[in-house]
Amino acid sequence: MPKSRFHLTQRWQRVSAAFLSGQAVSLLGSGLVQFAIIWYVTLRANSGTSMMIITLASFIPQLLVAPFSGVWADRYERRWLIVMADGGIALVTLALAILFLLGYNHIWFIYIAAMIRSFGGGVQGPAINALIPQITPKKELVRINGIYSTINNVLLLLSPVLGGALLTLFPLWVVFMVDVGTAFIAILIMLFLPIPHQKTGRITTALGTVPKLREEESWGFPDIGRADSADTDDAPPVESETPEDETGLKQFRRGFAYVKRHRAIRNLMLTYALFMVLLAPVAILTPLFIRRHFGDEPWRIAATQTALFAGMAIGGLIVSIRGRFRSHLQVVRAAGFLVAAFTLVLAILGLTSSPLFAFFVILAFLLGVIVPFYTTAVTTLFQQNVEKDYHGRVFALLYMIGSAAIPLGTILFGPIADLFDIAYVLLSTSVAQLLLLLTTFKTVPVSFESGALIIEPDTPDDQSYPRP
């Protein structure tokens, strides 16, 4: 019996490790290209308008495609969505590399490539977040989400360093080719990875074959749409609540209505959205805050960003080692309160004109450590409490919120920073964050985490959704 438990655990762990490794390789290549694109536009154009264009080109397409990509992630096999998105991005990057190799280095090529890459990222993001609970036992979601967060944060830290080194040694097209190679590796891993289908639970690779298991062995994946073992090939498919012949937009509206009907899910998503918008001043105004309060030496900004990303990487590592939280909702609140408190301290630091830059860097590091606790707990809450038929669409909504929050915050708080001291902006947003988190004690009750979905009683055509 102990041997059986070992095999059960080891098999899903190997699949998850392979999946995360492939995504890490892919993300590394994408990070290098993103750094190279920003570097090229900055040096070639030397224009604020060009920076605005590349920012919009990298942001708008993924926001526009997200509603449809969420529907696709619920309707089609998520493996193929990830593979096709990665492959499409790689093909565009390959074309860009060839054009630059031949001397066709027009900046508008960069803009077009950035738009297509953003489109692919908008398809890939919700599919990845929906696939993780598909291959991960419920009790291990925190650990896997923590590892994925750590990977992202480490690559945020390493991409500028590695990208700068590559651009120093090689021409730009070589960096593009690195991304093509990393995408190829990630696609190969996805094609040969045994994954249970999100509707039938059948475990297959892209070739349709899986290793044969002995009777006492199991993959250890969560049960999907069946009562019997996921290792059998003749399990009957389970009918989805969502009709397959509905248009993508109608299916997305169905997912939006699902969120709207379930009060706790809706309130948690609204809280997440508002909190992220209020976090924007810390994300976008920090360099200006440093410039105004500590001086314009470039090393100060570099030191702060390094401390922030290093803190996020360490925080993600701590989450993955810990592996689980007693209460995800309490972690969301505690992490949110700490983020608001640290922002408040930054505001006080600015109001008192403190010259202690080292203290500022330490605060940035601690803020970075807290962020993975917040994001991992929020993601896991949705993965565990949203029904599997709606994972793609709900994570598409989250993806849209995450993509839109910082630009929206930039529009709201950027001009204000030219009228008032940034310390006052940070003071007001930190207080607003604290008040927002206090409201969650009423809007998101503890019963939500225990599996009780609260449905609005006054919703027309209300329906009861079975728990997975």
CA distance 254 to 67: 11
3-state secondary structure of 56: helix
Type of residue at 387: E
| List of the chain residues with pLDDT < 70 | 1-10, 45-49, 51, 209, 211-218, 223-249, 296, 298, 353-355, 450-468
> Residue 181 has what pLDDT?
94
Q: From CA 271, how far away is CA 433, in angstroms rounded?
A: 9
Q: What is the pTM of this model?
A: 0.72
Give the number of other CB atoms < 10 A from CB of residue 322: 13
Name every residue whose Cβ is closer than 8 Å to that of residue 51 and which is 6 or more positions away in sequence.
41, 42, 45
Q: What are phi and psi of 262, to 5 degrees?
A: -95, 105
CB-based contact 194:26 (threshold 8 Å): no
What domains does the chain contain, in order, with CATH numbers?
2-210 (1.20.1250.20), 250-448 (1.20.1250.20)
Tokens of 248: 């993508």
Q: Output DSSP code: residue 245.
A: T
pLDDT value of residue 453: 53
Residues in a beta bridge with 262: 455
How far is 411 from 281, CA to CA, in rounded Å?
Answer: 10
Residue ranges of alpha helices (H) inside 247-390 are 248-261, 263-293, 298-322, 328-351, 357-385
Q: Compute the distance between CA of residue 465 and CA of residue 263 in angstroms, rounded to an integer.
A: 13
Place of tokens 């900004």: 301
- CA distances 38 to 42, 51, 151, 238, 299, Å, are 6, 8, 22, 47, 19
- Quick one: pLDDT at residue 90? 93
State residue 96's pLDDT score: 93
Model pLDDT, residue 162: 83
pLDDT of res. 200:
75
State how far the Cα of 86 lies from the Cα of 26, in Å rounded to an integer: 8
- What is the CB neighbour count within 10 angstroms for residue 245? 5
Residue from 39, 166, 170 nearest 101 by CA: 170
